[in-house]
Chain A
């Protein structure tokens, strides 16, 4: 059995991952900010922006797929 074939290892990894997210949010409390834009002031801006960006990316990509997807040999007629 390789490393990630065990569900336990996967959930351990996910647990570590979630912990690191919380640590990153906490770390923001202890840093000195030097902002160029007003919205960078708000707590967790980058976290929210990163999350929303990626969800939006997938959502729009799924719509794009409806428009541009063709069968694999589309050009080989």
Chain B
């Protein structure tokens, strides 16, 4: 049956092939129809395993359909639609194709029920996302893309090594819950953690994501990290290290976000912080915590994309995105400003916005398990998120000091994409039930209680008070054009050092070896040249002496023969004669 082979991944990946052949309106319509087709397919997928195959005696499962994979399937499909809509005005086919392959391979990862399928789509994801970074076609983007792919290939190798060990011990390629036991599972864990940008394997994300084009970064923000969150939730729920990795991730990046000057890098750091909430929830591992992690991933994809779209719109219209260069844009981009503030309210988990109904599940789960320190860290981070993503991003972009830039709203498709995302952020915040219904475990969680709403509002608003007082008093750290060192310092410096070592070390060896070979070969050629002429002269001179040549004539003949041998201009007969003499001598001697 052909329908069995129609996996959601293949629609997008194969569909990407047609993009370069279409122009104008037809291309726009085609781009938007692809995710629509995926959506229809998702709705018709039957529960259980579909599209299975055989490979060297192992069972492959292209399409594992259960509640966990479907949540991520839905949101990635929605996100593909929004991302393509936002990027419609882009003329660059490379970006559209890479985006479709990227989104498709992420769906492949989500629905893969075996490690071979997973690994292939995993690497497709790494390569296609690199092209989204390169799509900017600047030198910085090229360098960042290069570092990005190197890091991801290393992560892929960890995953592959883990898979090999896994298959060795379990005898199957299929996977579900793995749990941390033994070297193989740890290698798989590290491979996935790298894609989830888990600290300390996070530095590729704030390094590379802000280098994309205004619209490609929107794609990047959604897929890689959240597909890794999905895999963590499937393979390592309740893994204790994830609680602390998550707890560190929620608070360390916010310090960087406060200092960072590039708005898209601020958002990249806040992405790390949000993934921290998800990983922490997965680490806690109760039904409530896992529901929280999954629903938070769902909501996060929407509002983070919305924030990156707002930043992308500003970059698209003004060509600038650094705090020191922009400001006061609410005057000319009021709608973008409004959408950005909806995204900011959602990420800050304001009541009636989407973050509130999902993040609080993770926080409540930590309270249920009586994890006081984790709970305090999560609350600290909640206030911190509002501070840097909720206030700083809209404030320095659209308000703050007036940069004098006067621009217009972005094209209709960008506004529409932002409008739809903002609508969903508010919709999920007010009516969380549709989301709660598709979560992996039954939900009996009520986000809107008086204590919760008032507590959360106090936390946020008094955090805002701190911001207001610090800004008004001038104590708030000023925006400065700068680079803030992060963990990528190590591999950048390692790379530079390794390059220097290899450059100087190997090139020295190379030069020495060349020198030796040259001396040796020159020496040898001189020896052999002189040996032949010496031998030849020896026989010839004796012959000539017998024939009665003497004095000047002999000298003359000797000189001419020597010159002939050295230049190689000897008659062939001479060589043949010498050879015959040698053969005769060998014959006689042996």
Residues of A whose CB lies within 8 Å of any CB of B are 2-5, 14, 17, 20-21, 24-25, 27-28, 30-37, 40, 44-51, 53-58, 60-62, 64-65, 67-75
- Which one, A21, A37, A61, contacts B462 given CB within 8 A? A21
Q: Is the CB of B454 within 8 A of A27?
A: yes
Shortest Cβ distance from B450 into A: residue = A31
Q: In the bound complex, what is the Cα–Cα distance between A20 and B333 (angstroms)?
A: 28
- Which one, B368, B383, B481, contacts A49 given CB within 8 A? B383
Q: In the bound complex, what is the Cα–Cα distance between A31 and B450 (angstroms)?
A: 6
B421 shortest CB reach to chain A, Å: 25
Q: Is the CB of B484 within 8 A of A62?
A: no
12 inter-chain pairs at a CB distance below 8 angstroms, sorted by A residue, are A2-B331, A17-B465, A33-B451, A35-B451, A37-B372, A50-B458, A53-B384, A56-B380, A57-B258, A58-B466, A61-B258, A72-B481
Q: Among the interface residues B375, B461, B468, B476, which one has the most CB atoms of the partner chain A within 10 A?
A: B461
Q: Is the CB of A69 within 8 A of B484?
A: yes
Q: Is the CB of B384 within 8 A of A49?
A: no
If A24-B457, A31-B450, A37-B375 touch, does A70 touch B466 (CB 8 Å cutoff)?
Answer: no
A25 shortest CB reach to chain B, Å: 7
Q: Is the CB of A57 within 8 A of B384?
A: yes
The 3 closest A-B CB pairs, nearest first, are: A54-B466, A36-B367, A31-B450
- Which one, A17, A28, A56, contacts B468 given CB within 8 A? A17
B347 shortest CB reach to chain A, Å: 16
If A24-B454, A27-B454, A72-B482 touch, does A64 touch B465 (CB 8 Å cutoff)?
Answer: no
Q: Is the CB of A36 within 8 A of B368?
A: yes
Shortest Cβ distance from A36 into B: residue = B367
Q: Which residues of B contact A47 (CB under 8 A)?
A: 458-459, 461-462
Interface residues on B, range: 35 or more
Q: Is B463 at the interface (CB under 8 A from chain A)?
A: yes
Q: Is the CB of A70 within 8 A of B485?
A: yes
Q: In the bound complex, what is the Cα–Cα distance between A58 and B473 (angstroms)?
A: 13
Q: Which residues of A contact B481 (CB under 8 A)?
A: 72
Q: Is B387 at the interface (CB under 8 A from chain A)?
A: yes
Q: Is B486 at the interface (CB under 8 A from chain A)?
A: yes
A37 shortest CB reach to chain B, Å: 6
Q: Which residues of A contact B372 (CB under 8 A)?
A: 37
Q: Is B492 at the interface (CB under 8 A from chain A)?
A: yes
Q: Which residues of A contact B454 (CB under 8 A)?
A: 24, 27-28, 31, 46
Q: Is the CB of A46 within 8 A of B399?
A: no
Q: Is the CB of A17 within 8 A of B464?
A: yes
Q: A48-B462, A65-B484, A68-B486 are in contact. List 10 more A-B contacts (CB 8 A).
A: A32-B450, A32-B451, A46-B458, A50-B461, A53-B379, A53-B380, A57-B254, A57-B380, A58-B470, A72-B482
Q: Is the CB of B483 within 8 A of A74?
A: yes
Q: In the bound complex, what is the Cα–Cα distance between A61 and B470 (angstroms)?
A: 13
Shortest Cβ distance from A13 into B: residue = B468
Q: In the bound complex, what is the Cα–Cα distance between A71 and B255 (angstroms)?
A: 18
Q: Is the CB of A60 within 8 A of B370?
A: no
Q: In the bound complex, what is the Cα–Cα distance between A31 and B256 (angstroms)?
A: 37
Q: In the bound complex, what is the Cα–Cα distance between A25 and B258 (angstroms)?
A: 27
Within 8 A of A (CB), among B94-108: none
Q: Which residues of A contact B484 (CB under 8 A)?
A: 65, 68-70
Shortest Cβ distance from A1 into B: residue = B331
Q: Is B477 at the interface (CB under 8 A from chain A)?
A: yes
Q: Which residues of A contact B456 (CB under 8 A)?
A: 46
Q: Which residues of B contact A36 (CB under 8 A)?
A: 364, 367-368, 370, 375
- Which one, B254, B465, B480, B492, contacts A75 given CB within 8 A? B492
Q: Which residues of B contact A68 (CB under 8 A)?
A: 256, 259, 484-486
Q: In the bound complex, what is the Cα–Cα distance between A10 and B368 (angstroms)?
A: 42
Q: Is B475 at the interface (CB under 8 A from chain A)?
A: yes
Shortest Cβ distance from B332 into A: residue = A2
Q: Is the CB of B465 within 8 A of A37?
A: no
If A36-B370, A48-B462, A55-B466 touch, does A61 touch B477 (CB 8 Å cutoff)?
Answer: yes
Q: Is the CB of A24 within 8 A of B461?
A: yes
Q: Which residues of A contact B451 (CB under 8 A)?
A: 31-35
B34 shortest CB reach to chain A, Å: 38
Shortest Cβ distance from B400 into A: residue = A4
Q: Is B455 at the interface (CB under 8 A from chain A)?
A: yes
B268 shortest CB reach to chain A, Å: 16
Q: Which residues of B contact A27 (CB under 8 A)?
A: 454
Q: Which residues of A contact B467 (CB under 8 A)?
A: 54
Q: Which residues of B contact A51 (CB under 8 A)?
A: 462-463, 465-466
B282 shortest CB reach to chain A, Å: 20
Q: In the bound complex, what is the Cα–Cα distance between A37 and B258 (angstroms)?
A: 30
Q: Is B439 at the interface (CB under 8 A from chain A)?
A: no
Q: Which residues of B contact A60 (CB under 8 A)?
A: 255
Q: Which residues of B contact A73 (CB under 8 A)?
A: 483
Q: Which residues of A contact B331 (CB under 8 A)?
A: 2
A24 shortest CB reach to chain B, Å: 5
Q: Which residues of B contact A46 (CB under 8 A)?
A: 379, 454-456, 458-459, 462
Q: Which residues of B contact A31 (CB under 8 A)?
A: 450-451, 454
Q: Is B361 at the interface (CB under 8 A from chain A)?
A: no
Per-position binary interface string of chain B over residues 119-144, scored 1 when its CB falls under 8 Å from any chain A CB and 0 otherwise: 00000000000000000000000000
